[in-house]
Chain A
Amino acid sequence: MKVETILLLIPLLPLAGALIAGLFRNQIGRAGSHWVTILGVGGSFVLSALILKMQVYDGMQSMNYSLYTWGISDSITFQVGFLIDHLTTLMMVVVSFVSLMVHIYTVGYMQDDPGYQRFFSYIALFTFSMLMLVMSNNFLQLFFGWEAVGLVSYLLIGFWFKRETAIFANMKAFMVNRVGDFGFLLGIAAIMMVFGTLDYAEVFAAAPSKVNETIAVFGTTEWSAITFICVGLFIGAMGKSAQAPLHVWLPDSMEGPTPISALIHAATMVTAGIFMVARMSPLFELSDAALSFVLIIGAFTALSMGLIGIVQNDIKRVIAYSTLSQLGYMTVALGASAYSAAIFHLMTHAFFKSLLFLAAGSVIIAMHHEQDMRNMGGVRRWMPITWITSVVGTLALIGFPFFSGFYSKDMIIEAVGEAHRFGSGFAYWAVLLGVLITAFYSFRLLYLVFHGKPRMDKHTQEHMHETPLVVTIPLILLAIPSVLIGYFTIEPVLFGGWLDDAIKVNEHHDVIAELSLHFHGATAMALHSVQTIPFWLMLGGFALATWIYMFKPSIADSMVKRFSGIYKLLMNKYYFDDFNNKVFARGFVRIGQSLWKRGDAGLIDGVAINGTAALIGKLGERVRLLQSGYLYQYAFAMIIGLIGLLGAWLLV
């Protein structure tokens, strides 16, 4: 098989699965729908792995080619095509693997759901869209994938469309993403104006020569074109990757079924923004202002969202806020020019965060769809596999030495420490403090759910048991990379130049190159970590959580009382939602009402039209008389006219 054929099959197999499962859902039945999509996504994973193998062992060069010409207008040729370099392949493997795990898991999770086939159709469609996004070689297709994953996310958050909360959440998600896409589209428009092409390779090649280009803003005020482009694109990333203040949709997206929280709202789609900025590194490197913006937004998100995670009681929401915080870490890495560290964390996070979500889902199944951690406790005695895999995921998340998250997170922290960009001081403290917070809320979750006394009702307790194999096997398969992937890949991915064919860093701020001077292998790094601040902060968070939730639960309550102001602030999520509801949602409706009632109905129809009519006065009377016999007369005249026209033509 030709490489091009393999590459084409990678996105098309899931698409075929999605179409069959969706359009022929009644013909193929429930089992048919999961087989066809699992085969599609499984094939996609195998082929992605094959491409990876060809790149690693057979020295396959990066490929950049067009599939077909979408359209030609002006001097622009809009193409649909693939850019297959190491960054793409890494994303392809991660996306198709996590997707495959989620597909298998869904067989168990959605077992009794009447929308079974529809669900499989959606997640396979998502896989297609996400693959198109990461494989793109141009901004048009990027935008297609970008909005397509948004569409599927919308459909999946609102999967249980009878629930008022779900259909509120999905609309909110789409709207907030559209605000981001607004910036994204303007960024793309600026690229087209400045570069005259939307092809990645051409844009990147021309970028250094466009550093001094400007865009006219007001009168003589001009902005740097590259900064404008980067900020615009990043606003898109803020929507998709849920960076404050466009993060508000992600916690609500937990209204969707848990498998998609793992796949879309933790492992893959929300990392699209991170991927995109890394892909655009040749552009971002040219704008320190844009990178500082990225750095500060990321740092704020990493810290502030972790804090909210501490006070949440819904198991999925804790993980959701954790995801927000971790996305903040990745964004910080981007802002520090440590793009490869961001991608590295993206990869490890995809494994351990989808593991944590799926494990939470496993608990939720056993608890009969109860998600409040206050009603759990002691679950580990019934669900050993779920418990152990959760512990693995937690250790990876908090950055325990040798676990995957340790390597990726530590690298981000060190990279920020090396950065000298505006905002890097704040960012460094934010990510350090974030370590303590992460460890705290992660163990809080672990203790509240799996340890302590069972707090569920008798009925639930009697029926508690480990979930079936379709659920636990994906957990185990995800737990393995959650432990190992960091140890084995840190060297090639970060320091071996694996991503060099995609990521370009200006040597003046190449922090990863700085770090490589101190890197002496993964084992040494882990052993050395006991001498570093993050390790002790992590232990501190762990100790604090253990003390409070294992030994002195009363402290939690007294802390809430003592710091009631802060607690209220966190419980209300810094009032972002209230602000948006009051100002934007209600404000927009109010503006619409007034434009409609006052503008259209009042001014135009009322004053202008009816006013004119009144002015005409008696003439109006006559017009009215004329109108009463209108229909018949005019139709008659029309037919006469047409006959005349036809006749005249035939005669001449």
Chain B
Amino acid sequence: MLTVLLVVIILNFLMLHLAPGDIADTIAATMGGADEKDMIQLRTEYGLDQPFFIQLFQYVIKVAMLDLGNSHFYNMPVFDLIMERLPATLLLVFSAQIVSLSLGILLGVYAAQNPNGLSSLFVNMLSLFGYAAPVFWTGILLLIAFSLYIPIFPVAGMRDVTIESDNFFVHAFDVARHLFLPMITLASIFLAYYSRLCRASMLEVLGADFVRTAKAKGLSQRDILMKHALKNSLSPVITFAGLSFSAVVSGAILVETVYSWPGLGTLAFNSIIARDTPVLLGILIFSTLMVTVGNLLTDMVLRSIDPRIQGSQ
């Protein structure tokens, strides 16, 4: 993992370095104007006048000492900035992943029972639509439907700061209300993958010998599906879910922007535009961690449903 981190840092440092403009230009943009001397001073202060390798070396040394440095743009420690935003992103990413996975499996199983029927077609259409539609478009559409015409969900943010209550459940419910639309939007992309994959793998398993045996034993359809077929067809779905975890994290960027969700996505996006190198690298380090943890979790789930993996250990 350390090698991965080092490669991530070097590549991104290089990319940001190659992009034209620097933090002094973006600060000028937020100021509505600039002064020549101020810009030179800023560049000296942030060490941007140093050669590339010295900048990179200094940064790597700092990270090795567990110091992510200061944001040039916000003048705040990068670690604090990330910690402020991380819980929101974790909540969004994990809940979306859980929803898309469980709903995807459910739809997949359903569709596999009658692969050429109307309901199967419907599931296919629905999932393909979710996959094909751009996230920001789905997001806005859901907003228009469920915030404007049927105003049951709030448009922006993560909580209603005007609520004055000490009750934990009032606040939890408030966050859940705010979470619902962004979560559905983010989940809609992956729902397609998971349901299609589950359907295909279910179909394969349903034609297998042991299913025929189960049928011959006179087991109920439900038992065959849930106990025998599903367990055997889940591994590819879970494996894929683990692999696509990084895609969920990157998908969160767009969703967060549409819903003003105060997570890492918007911060990452802004720091690219603002050329705020320390923040971007900090976020990348954290998302590398997040993806690793996500993969670890899927591995654990896989083990619990497929004893063969455990055995090979």
Q: Do A and B come from one complex?
A: no
